[in-house]
Amino acid sequence: MVSLIAGDPQVNQNQVAGFSLGATAAVPGATVLEGYSHDFVHPSTCTAIANRQIDHGSTAVFADAGACGVGALRAAGVRGVWGVGAEEDMSYLGPQILVSTVKRLDRAVDYAIRSYLAGTLPQGHLDIGIERGAVDIVGVNGMVPASIRAKVVKVEQRRMKLWTSWSTPLR
């Protein structure tokens, strides 16, 4: 069981969906507990949510709620479970952090513009995540097994192939 703490259901909709899909793909049958702080500032709000989720059996906490999320990651460290956070929240600072991620909005915009100009941008909703370089893993805890690290490397290699396939200069 893993938990997710996001700031707002609408603002964080894509992150929540992406994390939930990723968690259940990595561990089929996993349960994802979702919680919303409706707050991006006060760490105590996210600490309380994380503690409730850990009380319900969560063994990892993903925090995507700005400064509020730091409270969730701190709770993960105190309670002895893993944390997954975002680089801009300085989540890489604790030994409980399993992995830190960073959003690359520049790459997402670049992909969207190039796809539009090439006539390949689909209509409607488009998720641009790790596979297009818009989200990167920037820190992995040394406790992560080599087999998992190898999977991360394979995802990165596939992503780089895709990146080079559409990253030609604009004219």
What distance in Å separates the CA atoms of residue 159 and residue 132, rounded to the nearest whole number? 6
- The total number of structural domains in the chain stands at 2
* Boundary (domain end) residue, out of 40, 66, 99: 99
Is 90 exceeded by the pLDDT of residue 107? no
86 and 128 assigned to the same domain:
no
- As a whole number, mean pLDDT of residues 5-23 equals 79
Task: Give the three-state DSSP class for 133.
Answer: coil
Does 27 share its domain with 85?
yes
Q: Are residues 71 and 121 in the same domain?
A: no
Is it the case that residue 124 has pLDDT exceeding 60?
yes
- Digit-coded pLDDT (tens) for 144-162: 788 877 877 777 777 666 6
- 143 pLDDT tier (thresholds 50, 70, 90): confident
- Segment 113-119 mean pLDDT: 76
pTM, two decimal places: 0.69
**Of 72, 99, 126, which closes a domain?**
99
Indicate whether 96 pLDDT > 80.
yes
Section 134-144 average pLDDT = 71
In this structure, are 48 and 128 located in the same domain? no
Instruction: Please report how many Cα atoms fall inside a 13 Å half-sphere around the Cα of residue 42, on the Cβ side.
Output: 8
* Same-domain status, 125 and 79: no
